[in-house]
Amino acid sequence: MKKAREVLGAMVAGTDGVLAAGLIGMDGAPIELLKMEAGFPAENVSQDVVTAAKLLLYMVRKAEGGSFDQLMMSCERFTVLAAMPGLDYCVALFLSSRGNVGKARVQFRRYLPELVSAVDPAAAG
């Protein structure tokens, strides 16, 4: 079984413009963090990503929207993709403004189940 860091590495491999990828606890503390761009403050914004994901999850439940899939936020300098595959953690992928968002979304969706099983082996079975 792969470790979470290896799965995060596979998730970002071959995707242009990745700044960082992280597995973040619901308290906002990074559990695993891969920084591809040393100056990107992923550890400083991890709490904010979790807060945004929690808020969106609340809205989805309130509107009876079904299961929460992904959150994508874009600004001038970067884009963040986030998902909550469980209630204990959030997964975030940060891309530069020139990053390949389409490829990142495909990789995100592809590797999320593997990341869940790396973090919680009981969920895989």
Rg, the chain, Cα only = 14
Structure-token pair, residue 54: 């929690």
Q: What is the rounded distance in angstroms from the CA atom of residue 112 to the CA atom of residue 4? A: 10
Measured distance between the N- and C-terminal CA atoms of the chain, rounded to whole angstroms = 12
At 123 the pLDDT is 59
All domains of the chain in start order, with CATH? 4-118 (3.30.450.30)
pLDDT of the chain, 125 residues: tens digit per residue = 469 899 999 999 989 999 999 999 989 899 999 999 999 999 999 999 999 988 988 998 899 988 878 899 999 999 999 988 877 889 999 999 999 999 999 998 899 888 888 887 665 55
3-state secondary structure 62-119: HCCCCCCCCEEEECCCEEEEEECCCCCEEEEEEEECCCCHHHHHHHHHHHHHHHHHHH
Q: How far apart are CA 29 and CA 96, in angstroms?
A: 22
Spell out where 16-62 has E strands: 18-25, 30-35
| Full strand arrangement of the beta sheet holding 18-25 | 30-35, 18-25, 89-96, 78-83, 71-74
